[in-house]
Amino acid sequence: MYLVTLIGNLLIVLATISDSHLHTPMYFFLANLSFADICFTSTTVPKMLMNIQTETKSISYGNCLTQMYFFMLFVALDNLLLTVMAYDHYMAICHPLHYMVVMNPRLCGLLLQMSWILCLLTALLHGLMFLRLPFCTELEIPHFFCDLDLVVQLACSDTFLNDLVSYIATGIMGVIPFTGILFSYSKIISSILRISSAGGRYKAFSTCGSHLSVVSLFCGRGLGVYLSSAAIQNARASAIASVMYTVVTPVLNPFIYSLRNKDIKYALKIISSR
């Protein structure tokens, strides 16, 4: 599944770069989302596979901190890119005459740059807050990777400030983007329902159908992980929910975007013929 995730997302990136017909805002953000998925999966799965192969489950403090930093970075980046793509679909469907003027290369680059900066700063803040906590010499983390919430709970001091920062960051980087996605799709659906022809409605739905499927998977799995960790005290059940979130969702994204997208399939055929 990890190899399929790497190859599938890498093919989308290569297809977007190589085909000039895909040099549009929608595919620009899709290529960056695929790159983020590759990095997101690579923060946890290779270490897990190595642990399974070598039958050792140890990780150093520095490696644990590094894993947490990059995991938070790419989770937040995935979330913001999905939000930006929702805005892109909103402009394409609700304001088609202004789309090319508003979604110009400068704005697309600025949105991507701001997404990276916000995610880097958020992950850095969590990392600095983590560094202030004292820990015992040896700890047992009931998970297959260094999850920030679980590791913070093992600290030998009060973690109120860390929890407060975590809640605020979740609100800013999670709740606000998700609200933006809901708002965009409420406007999109309202606009589609006003289209008189059935063919026009189908074309509009097909434009945003793949993105809506990925948003549902990403947000649904992520919400399931946090609900399960809050409601279920079984560490194995929580780990299984996290596997669905960190492994299954990224491996499905290339299939969702390529199987129903004629432009992507055409570009992939060109790559395979070369």
Nearest to residue 119, comparing CAs of 83, 144, 87?
Answer: 83
Rounded Cα distance, 28 and 39, in Å: 17
Rounded Cα distance, 17 and 111, in Å: 19
Q: What does the pLDDT look like over 92-134, one tens digit per residue? A: 888 888 999 999 999 999 999 999 999 999 999 999 999 999 9
Nearest to residue 181, comparing CAs of 113, 90, 98?
Answer: 90
Predicted pLDDT of residue 231: 47
Number of domains forming the structure of the chain? 1
Predicted pLDDT of residue 53: 93
Number of neighbours of residue 216 by Cβ within 10 angstroms: 10
The parent domain of residue 55 ranges over 2-273
State the greatest distance between any 2 C-alpha atoms of the chain, in Å, as a whole number.
Answer: 67
Q: Tell me the three state secondary structure of residue 79.
A: helix
Asked if 130 and 68 count as a contact pair (C-beta separation under 8 A), the reply is yes
Q: What does the pLDDT look like over 165-177, one tens digit per residue? A: 988 988 888 888 9
Q: Residue 132 carries which DSSP code? A: T
Predicted pLDDT of residue 41: 93
Predicted pLDDT of residue 259: 67
Mean pLDDT of 72-97: 92
Residue 194 C-beta-side C-alpha neighbours within 13 Å: 8
Q: What does the pLDDT look like over 213-246, one tens digit per residue? A: 777 776 666 565 555 555 445 666 667 777 777 8
Write the CATH number for 210. 1.20.1070.10
